[in-house]
Amino acid sequence: MAFVLKSNLPRLSRESYQGRSIVFWTHSFEGRATGWLHDRFHQCFREVLLHAGGRYALASPIYVLMPDHWHLVWMGWAESSDQWLANRFLRKHLATELRVGALQDRAYDHVLRNEECGRNAFMAACHYVRENPVRAGLVTSGQDWPYLGAMVPGYPGIDPRRSDFWDHYWKLFNRLVESTEPSRLSRAGLQGTNSRTIISTK
């Protein structure tokens, strides 16, 4: 995988990262630095991810920490959700744990378009992220990689390795949406003010 200088990557408008946006983030290390990934960092990552999600109204159906980068999927559940600020928060509060290497100055992000937000397409994309350790030859099954998970503030214990994960995740995510904007739910799925945030849960 070739890393691109993040300063040269285009950035969408702030509004693209707000509301019910769905964004795939990749944070890479300068010089492909390794040596930072261990159980203690994973615990710290989960703690900061929990606070970022609670503060900026975000849920993560999957994250995967790799030896020289990490992948993170965030979904906003409210109009007040802000992934741009959450990204800054995450990097700031993890910096002290990353003593052996520095993150590249900008993360790579992919804001999902409407056609990418259908339930099956989205779940397939998250599965692809989850299987990164397998494609890298680190494990033979994604189930065996210890540095991956999901995070929904207020609901501990959810695990993307479980066979019933998605049924459980959609129930929790819908509950969060209902708690903030119940009048905007439709029976066909979820739709917020940002047109990129449509995802069918049927």
pLDDT tens digit sequence for 1-39: 333 334 444 567 888 889 999 999 999 888 787 888 999
Residue 174: both structure tokens together: 């819908």
**What's the confidence (pLDDT) of residue 117?**
75
Reduced to 3 states, what is the DSSP secondary structure of residue 72? Answer: strand
- Compute the C-alpha angle 68/74/77, nearest 5°: 165
pLDDT tens digit sequence for 48-102: 999 999 999 999 999 999 999 999 999 999 999 999 999 999 989 998 887 666 7
- β-pair type (185-186, 189-190): antiparallel
CB 37 within 8 A of CB 95: no
pLDDT tier for residue 199 given thresholds of 50, 70 and 90: low
- Structural domains in the chain? 16-197 (3.30.70.1290)
CB 95 within 8 A of CB 112: no
